[in-house]
Structure 1
Amino acid sequence: MSQRNGANIIAVAGKGGTGKTVIASLLLKFLAENKSSGGRVLAIDADPAASLPSTLGV
């Protein structure tokens, strides 16, 4: 995790089927609910077969 200008940058990577989407969605939920983040969280899914939006219900 890198911190720059008060922002956290977190990358989740690995082989297919290892739970990256589940880990990323749980991490996003935690960060959004954490008072120190102010509820402002941005997720970028660079996978062409992105499943993060459907996992998050958007």
Structure 2
Amino acid sequence: MIQVKMFDYEHEKDLENGMNYFLGQIREDQIVDIKYEIAAFGEEDEENQIYCFSAMVIYRK
């Protein structure tokens, strides 16, 4: 059966740590694909930008 695991963090190091932990729990041959995306957004009157680091692991259970 094909499953997905979603990850969504504000910092790339948190994403890396979360994914590495999960990937350490499954076998390498179970991994089908990994999708990765970065989104950045903020409002015009604010100086701060918000980042969203997301990934999806598609794997066989």
Shared fold by TM > 0.5? no
- TM-score (norm. length: structure 2): 0.38
Counting strand residues as a fraction of each chain, which structure ranks higher? 2
Q: Which has the higher contact order (CA 8 A, sep 6+)?
A: 2
Which of the two has higher C-alpha Rg? 2
